[in-house]
């Protein structure tokens, strides 16, 4: 086992090396899906997949990182730590559970310290039926110009207008309007796209390949940016299904000590969303009973997170911005999605490890039941 601090990296390139080395040392079967573009430092980008266990296992646990690129600085650390954790790996093997690690679902965002894909798409709003009319978000349309002013940082008039919006409608309504996803403004925040992204298509291929034999699939998708710093909220990540919610709460609830929240009943810090990534399981692995959570680790207050994203999108629209301003915007993005302290990293690993053990025990109980 390595210490929690060593599992985390300060760049995508280093994180990828650490993950591949850890998976190889553990004897996992590895496959890499190369991205069509290169990374920030000219490095190869890839969605790397490592299977720990038999390919024909009936119980499969998926552990994924960097759905929202920059959030991979946290999620990758969890995966690297798990690859070196002999006790955890033995626990999964003894239960007959294969573990599929998907490293860097969105490697481009990971490398460039952005939340979105190279298409400027929020991957976790991109799993829509694009043959049908896409969800409308008129509340975002009203805010779009306010969120992306001509200059950055925003002037006092812009800040006053944002403050007035929050005062009039409430912080929760502002968060929902901004974050729930939109398909009208390609240059805007939380853009869900108008077609499947590279990451969407590649993930579906991975799910078909590795999930086709499974009868029960669990999924822990690692995220950051919502809630109190260092606290991992377990957010129900399935359809609005009372039976699946009860199962998730039985597995991960810890008898009330680690509650599972839901976007459907208003208990989550997340707004209600659509086009979510885990929806692909129902389509690509229809034979399996699916139970999943998003493990959402808090960093900084939500308004700071949204303002960091506003700055990032502004910078994307203004590539000629001065170098000093560029560095400040990118550092704020890192600070919004990754807390660079030993205490925070230790909290992340401890809570993730607990959730991993809970998932395996839940899968095993489902088989015995």
pLDDT tens, N- to C-terminus, the chain (369 residues): 798 999 999 999 999 999 999 999 999 999 999 999 999 999 999 999 999 999 999 999 999 999 999 999 999 999 999 999 999 999 999 999 999 999 999 999 999 999 999 999 999 999 999 999 999 999 999 999 999 999 999 999 999 999 999 999 999 999 999 999 999 999 999 999 999 999 999 999 999 999 999 999 999 999 999 999 999 999 999 999 999 999 999 999 999 999 999 999 999 999 999 999 999 999 999 999 999 999 999 999 999 999 999 999 999 999 999 999 999 999 999 999 999 999 999 999 999 999 999 999 999 988 765
Question: Strand 29-38 and strand 44-52: pairing?
Answer: antiparallel
Give the pLDDT score at 1: 78
CB atoms within 10 A of CB 340: 11
What phi and psi values does residue 149 have, to the nearest 5 degrees? -70, 170
CB 282 within 8 A of CB 292: no
Q: What is the pLDDT of residue 76?
A: 98
Tokens of 187: 């240059």
Question: Cβ–Cβ contacts within 10 Å for residue 285, how many?
Answer: 22
* Full-model pTM: 0.98
Among residues 336, 199, 332, 353, the alpha carbon closest in space to that of 277 is found at: 199
Measured CA to CA, the distance from residue 273 to residue 9 in angstroms comes to 30
Cβ(46)–Cβ(107) under 8 Å? yes
- Contact of 7 with 84, CB cutoff 8 Å: yes
Nearest CA to 211 among 156, 148, 287?
Answer: 287
Surface-to-core class of residue 263, CB atoms within 10 Å of its CB (0-12 exposed, 13-18 middle, 19+ buried): buried
Q: Which helix (H) or strand (E) holds 17?
A: helix 12-25
pLDDT reported for residue 367 = 73
Buried b (16+ CB within 10 A) or exposed e, 117-130: bbbbbbbbbbbbee
DSSP 182-236: BSS-TTSTTB--SS--HHHHHHHHHHHHHHTT-SEEEEEEEEEEEEEET-EEEEE
């Amino acid at each position: 086992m390595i210490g929690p601090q060593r599992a985390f990296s300060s760049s995508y390139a280093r994180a990828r090396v650490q993950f591949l080395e850890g998976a190889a040392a553990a004897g996992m079967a590895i496959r890499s899906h190369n991205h069509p573009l290169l990374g920030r430092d000219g490095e190869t980008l890839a969605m790397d997949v490592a299977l720990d266990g038999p390919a024909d296992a009936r119980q499969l646990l998926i552990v994924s990182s960097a759905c929202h690129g920059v959030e991979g600085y946290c999620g990758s650390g969890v995966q690297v730590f798990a690859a070196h954790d002999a006790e955890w790996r033995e626990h999964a093997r003894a239960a007959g559970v294969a573990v599929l690690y998907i490293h860097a679902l969105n490697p481009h965002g990971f490398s460039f310290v952005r939340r979105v894909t190279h298409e400027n798409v929020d991957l976790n709003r991109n799993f829509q039926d694009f043959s049908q009319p896409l969800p409308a978000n008129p509340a975002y349309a009203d805010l779009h110009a306010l969120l992306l002013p001509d200059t950055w940082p925003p002037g006092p008039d812009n800040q006053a207008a944002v403050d007035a919006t929050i005062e009039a409608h409430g912080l929760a309504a502002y968060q929902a309007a901004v974050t729930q996803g939109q398909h009208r403004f390609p240059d805007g925040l939380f853009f869900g796209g108008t077609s499947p992204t590279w990451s969407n298509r590649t993930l579906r291929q991975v799910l078909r390949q590795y999930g086709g034999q499974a009868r029960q699939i669990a999924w822990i998708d690692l995220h950051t940016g919502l809630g109190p710093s260092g606290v991992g909220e377990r957010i129900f990540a399935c359809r609005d299904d009372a039976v699946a919610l009860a199962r998730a709460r039985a597995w991960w609830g810890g008898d009330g000590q680690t509650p599972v929240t839901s976007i459907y009943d208003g208990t989550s810090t997340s707004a209600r969303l659509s086009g979510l990534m885990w929806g692909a399981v129902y389509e690509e692995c229809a034979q399996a009973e699916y139970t999943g959570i998003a493990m959402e680790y808090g960093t900084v207050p939500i308004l700071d997170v949204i303002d960091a994203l506003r700055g990032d999108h502004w910078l994307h629209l203004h590539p000629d911005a001065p170098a000093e301003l560029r560095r400040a915007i990118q550092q704020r993005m890192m600070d919004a999605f990754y807390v660079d302290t030993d205490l925070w990293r230790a909290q992340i690993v401890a809570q993730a490890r607990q959730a991993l053990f809970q998932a395996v025990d839940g899968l095993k109980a489902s088989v015995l039941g």
